[in-house]
């Protein structure tokens, strides 16, 4: 009996585990998300648009002209968490790490990205599609 219950629990956990990895994807694709990074005097805004085809674009706004960063994205389930994996083309920089745990805070309508060291980047919703 114990083995059957454990196997059932593992199957149920596995099912919810794979479903959880898809929870953030619709939110990411729903519009433009941004983060403002402040320096001593000037700041930089990073506006992320995650497309349904698995590509993303980051518009970088500050006092210097910047071409947009582009690349591909996907959500993976790792250790019971949703992980956003970004692959940028070339050596373009942006605010999010190439791999981070990501969650959606419905109460605040923000996406929270946490890198492996626990540092957080909070992305706010700017506009829908």
The range of the structural domain enclosing residue 74 comes to 2-128
Q: What CATH number did the domain enclosing 123 receive?
A: 2.40.128.640
pTM of the model: 0.77
Check whether 63 has a pLDDT greater than 60. Answer: yes
Look at residue 40 in the predicted model and tell me its pLDDT: 67
Give the integer Cα–Cα distance in Å for 89 and 127.
Answer: 25
Q: Tell me: the pLDDT tens digits for 65-79?
A: 788 889 999 999 999
Residue 100 has pLDDT above 90, yes or no: yes
pLDDT band at 120 (very low <50, low <70, confident <90, very high): very high
Pairing label, strands 99-105, 55-61: unpaired
**What pLDDT is stored for residue 53 in this prediction?**
96
Structural domain count, the chain: 1
| End-to-end CA separation in angstroms for the chain | 51
Instruction: Measure the CA–CA gap between 38 and 100, rounded to whole angstroms.
Output: 21
Question: In this predicted structure, what is the pLDDT of residue 129?
Answer: 62
Average pLDDT score over residue span 25-52: 90
- The CA-atom distances, in angstroms, between 58 and each of 8, 50, 70, 127 are 43, 9, 6, 14
């Amino acid at each position: 009996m114990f083995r059957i219950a454990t196997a059932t629990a593992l199957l149920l956990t596995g099912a919810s585990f794979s479903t959880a990895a898809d929870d953030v994807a619709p939110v990411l694709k729903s519009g433009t998300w941004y983060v403002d990074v402040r320096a001593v005097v000037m700041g930089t805004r990073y506006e992320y648009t995650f497309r349904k085809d698995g590509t993303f674009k980051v518009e970088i706004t500050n006092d210097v002209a910047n071409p947009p960063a582009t690349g591909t994205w996907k959500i993976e389930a790792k250790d019971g968490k949703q992980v956003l994996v970004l692959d940028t083309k070339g050596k373009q920089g942006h605010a999010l790490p190439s791999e981070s745990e990501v969650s959606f805070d419905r109460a605040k309508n923000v996406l929270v990205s946490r890198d492996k060291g626990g540092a957080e980047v909070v992305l706010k919703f700017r506009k829908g599609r």
